[in-house]
Amino acid sequence: MADTNSNSTAALIPQVSVPPISLRRRVMDHVMTGAAVLTVALVLLPLFAIFAYLVYKGIGSINLAFLTQTPKPVGEPGGGMANAIVGSTVILGIASLLGVPLGIGAGIFLSEYGRNRYGDIVRFVSDVLNGVPSIVIGIVAYGLVVMRQKHFSALAGGVALAIMMVPTIARTTEQMLLLVPQAIREAAYGIGVSRWRTTLSITLRTATSGVITGVMLAFARVAGETAPLLFTAFGNQYWNWSTDQPTAALSLQIFTYAISPFDEWHRQAWAGALVLIVLIVGAVAAVRIAVKHGTLAGA
């Protein structure tokens, strides 16, 4: 029985002899794989080079004083950037608090309600905003916040950075939400879940990891910005715990120290750059880990 079966099946399949894979194809395969590996290396190389160089130049100046003290006057050795580390954290916190909800909200609008002319306008404006030089955004924040308050502040710096975050977050959120299949939304409608609830609890939740990637990209991008802070947060040589006062930021401190004529300050600028990079990488990694733990295995 089994015999007749296999015979009849064999009869159905035409006999073709498959030629062996030619040398040319095998060589090409290796060449292409090698090229792909090489490109990856080329992309990663600058990243590692920068990081290694920062460690090499900066690690020597990082000590407890650097992380806990404020800058010393010129000529006095020692001192640190503690106030700038805190200031950067505060400014970035304000920027995220303002920029993330606004950006995600705009992204939701674009994806769920903006499939029309009005959405096209918002998309266009958002793309243009993405291309505006950061110094110009600094001037806008200067006009919006500093002029009104009559003094520089962490708030003004946060507003400037928030404006820079919004378009990136909005467009990535939109793209990530559009990737969620319509069938998932229909499943929610089908069990009597309202549209806004579906958007928040189903669509946005399904797209969470992508949306977070967008947020982290925007965060990392503005974390190192200096120009928009020049005349908003302004910088400060002393401790300041108020969001209403001129505030130090790592990027500003690095800028000031790097263009100074003092060797001690140059070393501290390198150390500051290293700390800034570590903080950004640390923040991104922390969020990634938190999100991974918050989501379900196998999802």
Partner 1 sequence: MGVGITVEHLNAFYAKTQALFDINIVVQANHATALIGPSGCGKSTFIRCLNRMHETIPEARVEGLVRIGDLSVYNGTSATQLRRRVGMVFQKPNPFPTMSIYDNVAAGLKLNGFGNRRQLDEIVEKSLHASALWDEVKDHLHKKSGASLSGGQQQRLCIARALAVQPEVLLMDEPCSALDPISTGKIEELIFQLKEQYTIVIVTHNMQQAARVAEFTGFFLLGKMIEFDKTEKIFTNPSDKRTEDYVTGRFG
Interhelix angle 263-294/23-58, rounded to 10 degrees, is 120
Q: Least CB distance from residue 244 to partner 1, whole Å?
A: 40
Provide CB contacts within 8 A for 252, sequence distance 6+: 84, 226, 229, 230, 233, 234, 235
> Should residue 117 be labelled a site residue for partner 1 when binding is judged by CB under 8 A?
no
| Smallest distance from partner 1 to CB 205, Å | 5
Taking the least distance from each CB to partner 1, the nearer of 129 and 202 is 202
| 113 lines the binding site for partner 1 (CB under 8 A) | no
Strand partners, 79: 71
Cα Rg of the chain (Å, integer): 27
Cα–Cα dist 21/24, whole Å: 8
Q: Is there binding between residue 183 and partner 1 (CB under 8 A)? A: yes
By the rule CB under 8 A, 10 interacts with partner 1: no
Is the Cβ of residue 104 or residue 230 nearer to partner 1 in the bound state?
104
Q: Draw the binding track, 141-180, toward partner 1 (x: CB under 8 A; -: no contact).
A: ----------------------------------------
Residue closest to 249 by CA, chosen among 284, 271, 270, 276: 276
Given the complex with partner 1, which of 162 and 212 has the nearer CB atom?
A: 212
Q: What is the dihedral of CA 185, 189, 192, 195, to 10 degrees?
A: 80
Among 26, 151, 197, 292, binds partner 1 (CB under 8 A): 197
Please answer whether residues 121 and 110 qualify as being in contact, where contact means their C-beta atoms are separated by less than 8 angstroms: no
Selected from 14, 190, 261, 263, the binder of partner 1 by CB under 8 A is 190
**Rounded distance, CA 188 to CA 174, Å?**
19
Q: In the complex, what is the shortest distance from the CB of residue 187 to partner 1, in angstroms, rounded to a whole number?
A: 4
Residues forming the site for partner 1 (CB under 8 A): 115, 181, 183-194, 197-198, 201-202, 205-206, 208, 295-299
